[in-house]
Amino acid sequence: MPLLSGCLFLDVQYSQTIYPTPQEVMNRPPGPRPRSLLCAELALDAQPALDEDFCSRGATSFADPFRIPDVFPLAERLRQIWQAEAESPQPGAHCSLMDEFAEILGLRGIYEWWTPRSHSSPPA
């Protein structure tokens, strides 16, 4: 885990220096995307920061910029669900995890699951 934590640290640190802060994103004039979609996007963006803060056992505070009332509770819920799933991962669980994330973020119904084509059959 220390190697992963070091890589994650550098990635999160770099990301926070090149992208707008979550507060800057939320303060932009309203555009074509609804605010709820911005909150969902930021809650997902917060996950690497929450991971690094967790791995560093409090030595970092990368998640602090995401402590926006409409964002941070969503980010924490996603993190809790991810942690619970990561304790005992099951094959194919990523699909139900995606559905659960979508439900929390209010994105349910704007995507659909496709059944992959078999790699053994020729294309139609």
Indicate the angle between helix axes 72-87 and 35-55, nearest 10 degrees.
50
Structural contact between residues 55 and 8, judged by C-beta atoms closer than 8 angstroms:
yes
| CA distances (Å), origin 87, targets 22, 53, 80, 107 | 29, 18, 11, 25
Does residue 124 carry a pLDDT above 90?
no
3-state SS of the chain is: CHHHHHHHHHHHHHHHHHCCCHHHHHHCCCCCCCHHHHHHHHHHHHHHHHHHHHHCCCCCCCCHHHCCCCCHHHHHHHHHHHHHHHHCCCCCHHHHHHHHHHHHHCCCCCCCCCCCCCCCCCCC
Supply the pTM of this predicted model: 0.73
Q: What is the pLDDT of residue 2?
A: 46
Predicted confidence at residue 78, as pLDDT, reads 92
Count CB atoms within 10 A of the CB of residue 63: 22
Residue 113 vs residue 7, higher pLDDT: 113
Mean pLDDT of 4-13: 64
Residue 96, phi then psi, degrees to nearest 5: -70, -30
Per domain, the residue ranges of the chain are 2-105
* pLDDT tens-digit series, residues 40-86: 989 998 988 888 888 878 788 888 999 999 999 999 999 998 888 88
- Mean pLDDT for 80-109 is 86
Taking residues 75-103, report their average pLDDT.
87
Rg (CA), the chain: 17
> What pLDDT does residue 75 have?
93
pLDDT (tens digit per residue) in 11-29? 666 676 767 888 888 888 8
The yes-or-no verdict on residue 121 having pLDDT over 70 is no
